[in-house]
């Protein structure tokens, strides 16, 4: 049977504790939400409304058009495929984007400052104008250095003139035509008053303003100069090109912007520039091919003219009319005979190879592998195929029939007959081919003899004529290729085309919308303080809970003391019905229980460092013991930094323990009696001595403890911090129960090693054998583990 699983108690406590910590610091969330929502509201007023724009471009499947001119003079006819990734890289390249922007009037941007509350102090929110909306036009002198990126404010004066002002810090000065950086002006200040159409000139400015700001309706107007590299970088960062699907050759080009007219013009210009560049590249390739062919035609034509001139000169000098006719005939005959002899020689070699295969196989089963050896005789090929088929039939019967089978024997007889006939035929063919080779050799010998017998003049004339023929053929070939290249170039078109012109993707603005900003602000307003609180809590190395104490040390837990505030001294008199008073009562009961033995009368209070409330806990617990009816004496052994007198309104200069240990006063003179707390005597530290440790090592102190143990129910020692001085180790020989005070959210967890050292050095059954830890200054309202104790004051008596 399945069991129902519930979250563990530890998980529930951890989650509840975390929620309690977050709820206790609600003011963090309130402040964070106010700041985040305020920032979101302010940002929503500043962000311009942006839209998305898209166009579509189709690539070709392969290179066409005049790209064919590149292959006119090569024998490789492999198609050149266009890679989509390469084309995307070309479309988004800085060179193409810059070329597209060169034809657009984006070098000067025009803006107005709306009269809204966010612009009360300075123009934070602006609106860009473009096209017919622009009341003024700026004509920039591209040959002069210009200060770019700074706002030039233009104002119309009552007399119709224009006042131009600009200010900025670290303003770049560039060569406007090239965009090259010249220098940077640390403090740029510019002011001129000119008539419309006049040149506005300054150290780093030269332009002309045409028009009037009368149509602005009182709004501030300014313009900004932009360099081509700056525009290229800005538009490249917002351009996205990707195929409509994987391996598709149709590309989507998208941008984002606040001025629709500029984004649409940019996308259209980019696509048309891309297509125009592609066509120019193809035309350039065609023109290059034509130029190359023309150059080769010139070279070959010169060679042809020289060769024909050499033939004519040779004939004229030697008196020959047609001396090459016989030589040409003999050379052609020799070439024909050599080709025929080579063919017969190859056939003979093929016959010999088939014959060797056939002789190596008694049953002729290997003859099928001879079909690819170059045998051209149809009768021989037919015999070979027939023998191969018979062997194939035999192999099929061999699976189920033995050699004694009549059918198998009949096939063997046929195979042997065909094999014998094939051997005879091959033998005859080899003999006939050898005879033919001998005949060709004889004829070739005769032709070679005839050629060698030609006169030297005829042979030289034949060679010159042959060279002229070769040049004539090359010249004809190049003329044909030139015609093809010219026709291809004349009919050239780009294989890329625009599928969709640039258009707005949607009339809805792009994120972030105001509602999205508010949602993000709400999430961040809650997440940031929550993360800060939890991170600070995780990074806090002070003692937070009792579990942390128990995880570090094995010392028993005595109890906890509520937070009483900084100015409180004795809580029983100052706040008798408070939670802190009730917590002292509980600890007093626990302390009486653990020190209930008749011999365990001396209780020592210490801590790791000062400021942890050791004296505060010691004084109040001593008071609680005395008010419970026990006779108690409180001894302040912290002679270096005494503070106990302030708790009982005693004089800090009155002689006390230090004076008694020196023998200057008696015990009766050293003891003090607070009137409002019966059964309690206090032995304050007195004047601060120079030899505190030596006084506590004095045997007179040990005798004092023995005397007080006889007269009082409890002797309580307010000892120095164990982590700062070594007096407590001297006092431990007199202490029966040690109480180590830890202050909540103050004591470092590493300081608890002193507590563990006390426990490790203690031995049960001996003095100082019992060590307990007391958690002080716990804020019940701010601590989930003890927040239920915040109502303890209602039950105090």
Residue 63: per-residue pLDDT: 46
- Asked if the model's pLDDT at residue 674 lies above 80, the reply is yes
pLDDT of amino acid 778: 86
Tell me how far apart the alpha carbons of residues 253 and 247 are, in angstroms, rounded to a whole number.
Answer: 16
Q: What share of the chain is helix, strand, coil (3-state, %, to 5)?
A: 55, 20, 30
Is there a contact between 177 and 199 (Cβ–Cβ < 8 Å)?
Answer: no
Domain boundary among 198, 226, 254: 226
Tell me what percent of the residues of the chain surpass a pLDDT of 90: 25
Q: How far apart are CA 136 and CA 152, in angstroms?
A: 12
Q: Are 212 and 347 in a shared domain? A: no
Are the C-beta atoms of 603 and 591 separated by less than 8 Å? yes
Both 583 and 703 in one domain: the answer is yes
Give the pLDDT band (50/70/90) at residue 78.
very low
**Residues 218 and 336 placed together within one structural domain of the fold:** no
Same-domain check for residues 631 and 761 = yes
In a domain, 463, yes or no: no
Are residues 734 and 622 part of one domain?
yes
Specify whether 753 is located in the same domain as 613: yes
* Domain assignment of residue 6, yes or no: no
Among 81-90, 405-414, 501-510, the range scoring the smallest mean pLDDT is: 405-414
Q: Decide if 533 contacts 25 (C-beta within 8 A).
A: yes
Q: Please write the tens of the pLDDT for every residue from 177-195.
A: 888 888 999 999 999 999 9
pLDDT value at 255 more than 90: yes
606 forms beta bridges with: 740
Query: Do the beta carbons of residue 236 and residue 94 sit within 8 Å?
Result: yes
Examine the pLDDT at 150 and tell me if it is beyond 50.
yes
How many helices (H) and strands (E) would you count in the chain?
22, 21
Is 785 domain-assigned?
yes
| Predicted pLDDT at 311 | 75
* Residue at 488 is within a domain: no
What is 133-167 written as a DSSP string?
Answer: G-SEEEEE-TTSEEE-S--EEEEE-TTS-EEEEEE
Q: What was the pLDDT predicted at 164?
A: 93
- φ/ψ (deg, to 5) at 128: -85, 140
Q: pLDDT value at position 157?
A: 86
Residue 69 maps to a domain: no
Boundaries of domain holding 777: 572-790
Report the C-alpha gap between 702 and 732 in whole angstroms: 11
Beta bridge partners of 169: 187
Boundary (domain end) residue, out of 226, 251, 284: 226
Classify residue 555: in a domain, yes or no: no
Looking at the structure of the chain, the number of domains it has is 3
3-state secondary structure of 9: helix
Q: How confident is the model at residue 434 (pLDDT cuts 50, 70, 90)?
A: confident
Residue 324 binned pLDDT confidence (cut-offs 50, 70, 90): low
Residue 139 reports pLDDT greater than 90: yes
pLDDT digits 0-9 by tens, 395-431: 666 666 667 777 777 777 877 887 788 788 878 888 8
Are 207 and 347 members of one domain? no
Of the candidates 604, 595, 558, 588, the one whose C-alpha atom is nearest the C-alpha of residue 719 is 604
Mean pLDDT of 88-102: 92
pLDDT of 7: 45
Q: How far apart are CA 538 and CA 577, in angstroms?
A: 35
**Range in 146-160, 306-320, 562-576 the model is least confident about:** 306-320
Please give the pLDDT value at position 2. 41
* Most confident segment among 122-136, 288-302, 620-634, 756-770: 620-634
User: Final residue of a domain: which of 397, 425, 454?
Assistant: 454
Residue with the bigger pLDDT between 295 and 394: it is 295
Residues 639 and 786 in one domain: yes
**Average pLDDT score over residue span 98-115:** 91
266 occurs within a structural domain: no
**Is residue 264 assigned to a domain?**
no
Cα separation, 132 vs 769, in Å, equals 96
In this structure, what CATH number is given to the domain that contains residue 726?
3.40.50.300
Instruction: Specify whether 644 is located in the same domain as 785.
Output: yes
Contact criterion met (CB below 8 Å) for 542 and 746: yes
């Amino acid at each position: 049977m399945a069991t129902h699983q519930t979250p563990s108690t530890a998980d529930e406590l951890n989650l509840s504790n975390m929620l309690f910590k977050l709820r206790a610091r609600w003011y963090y969330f309130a402040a964070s939400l106010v700041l985040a929502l305020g920032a979101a509201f302010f940002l929503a007023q500043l962000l311009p409304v942006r839209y998305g724009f898209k166009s579509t471009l189709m690539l070709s499947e392969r290179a066409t058009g005049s790209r064919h001119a590149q292959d006119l003079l090569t024998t490789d006819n492999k198609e050149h495929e266009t890679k989509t990734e390469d084309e995307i890289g070309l479309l988004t390249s800085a060179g193409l984007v810059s070329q597209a922007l060169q034809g657009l009037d984006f070098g000067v941007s025009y803006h107005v400052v709306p009269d809204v509350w966010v612009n009360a102090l300075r123009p934070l929110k602006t609106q860009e104008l473009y096209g017919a909306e622009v009341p003024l036009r700026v004509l920039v002198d591209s040959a002069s250095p210009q200060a770019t990126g700074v706002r030039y404010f233009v104002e119309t004066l009552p007399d119709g003139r224009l006042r131009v002002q600009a200010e900025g810090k670290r303003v770049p000065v560039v060569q406007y035509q090239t965009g090259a950086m010249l220098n940077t002006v640390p403090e740029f200040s510019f002011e001129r008053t000119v008539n419309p159409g006049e040149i506005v000139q300054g150290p780093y400015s030269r332009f002309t303003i045409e028009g009037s700001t009368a149509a602005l309706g009182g709004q501030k107007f300014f313009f900004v100069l932009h360099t081509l590299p700056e525009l290229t970088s800005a538009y490249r960062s917002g351009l996205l090109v990707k195929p409509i699907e994987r391996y598709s050759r149709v590309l989507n080009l998208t941008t984002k912007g606040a001025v629709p007219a500029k984004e649409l013009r940019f996308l259209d210009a980019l696509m048309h520039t891309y297509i125009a560049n592609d066509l120019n590249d193809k035309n350039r390739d065609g023109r290059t091919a034509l130029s190359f062919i023309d150059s080769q035609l010139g070279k070959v034509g010169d060679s042809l003219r020289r060769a024909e001139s050499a033939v004519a000169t040779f004939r004229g000098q030697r008196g020959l009319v047609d001396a090459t006719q016989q030589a040409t005939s003999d050379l052609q005959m020799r070439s024909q005979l050599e080709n025929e002899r080579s063919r017969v020689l190859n056939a003979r070699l093929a016959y010999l190879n088939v014959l060797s295969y056939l002789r190596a196989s008694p049953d002729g089963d290997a003859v099928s592998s001879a079909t690819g050896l170059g045998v051209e005789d149809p009768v021989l090929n037919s015999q070979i195929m027939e023998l191969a088929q018979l062997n194939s039939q035999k192999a099929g019967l061999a699976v189920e029939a033995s050699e004694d089978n009549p059918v198998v024997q009949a096939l063997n007889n046929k195979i042997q007959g065909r094999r014998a006939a094939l051997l005879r035929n091959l033998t005859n063919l080899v003999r006939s081919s050898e005879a033919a080779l001998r005949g060709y050799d004889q004829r070739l010998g005769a032709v070679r003899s005839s050629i060698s017998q030609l006169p030297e003049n005829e042979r030289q004339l034949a060679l010159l004529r042959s060279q002229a023929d070769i040049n004539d053929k090359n010249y004809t070939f190049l003329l044909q290729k030139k015609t093809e290249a010219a026709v291809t170039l004349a009919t050239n078109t780009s294989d890329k085309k625009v599928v969709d012109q640039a258009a707005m993707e949607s009339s809805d603005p792009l994120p972030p919308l105001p509602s999205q900003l508010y949602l993000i602000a709400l999430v961040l307003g809650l997440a940031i303080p929550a993360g800060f609180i939890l991170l600070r809590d995780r990074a806090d190395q002070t003692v937070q809970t009792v579990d942390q104490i128990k995880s570090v040390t094995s010392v028993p837990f005595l109890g906890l003391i509520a937070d009483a505030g900084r100015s409180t001294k004795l809580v029983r008199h100052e706040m008798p019905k408070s939670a802190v008073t009730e917590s002292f009562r509980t600890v007093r009961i626990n302390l009486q229980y653990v020190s209930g033995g008749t011999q365990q009368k001396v209780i020592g209070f210490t801590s790791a460092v000062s400021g942890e409330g050791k004296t505060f806990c010691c004084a109040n617990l001593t008071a609680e013991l005395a008010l419970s009816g026990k006779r108690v004496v409180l001894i302040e052994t912290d002679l270096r930094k005494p503070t106990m007198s302030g708790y009982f309104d005693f004089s800090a200069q009155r002689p006390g323990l230090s004076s008694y240990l020196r023998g200057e006063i008696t015990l009766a003179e050293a003891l003090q009696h607070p009137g409002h707390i019966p059964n309690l005597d206090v032995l304050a530290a007195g004047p601060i001595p120079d030899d505190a440790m030596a006084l506590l090592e004095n045997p007179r102190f040990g005798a004092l403890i023995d005397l007080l143990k006889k007269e009082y129910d409890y002797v309580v020692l307010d000892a120095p911090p164990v982590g700062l001085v070594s007096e407590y180790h001297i006092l431990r020989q007199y202490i029966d129960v040690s109480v180590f005070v830890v202050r909540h959210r103050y004591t470092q967890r590493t300081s608890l090693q002193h507590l563990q050292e006390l426990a490790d050095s203690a031995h049960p059954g001996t003095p100082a054998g019992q060590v307990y830890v007391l958690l002080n200054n716990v804020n019940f309202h701010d601590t989930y583990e003890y927040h239920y104790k915040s109502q303890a004051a209602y039950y105090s008596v």
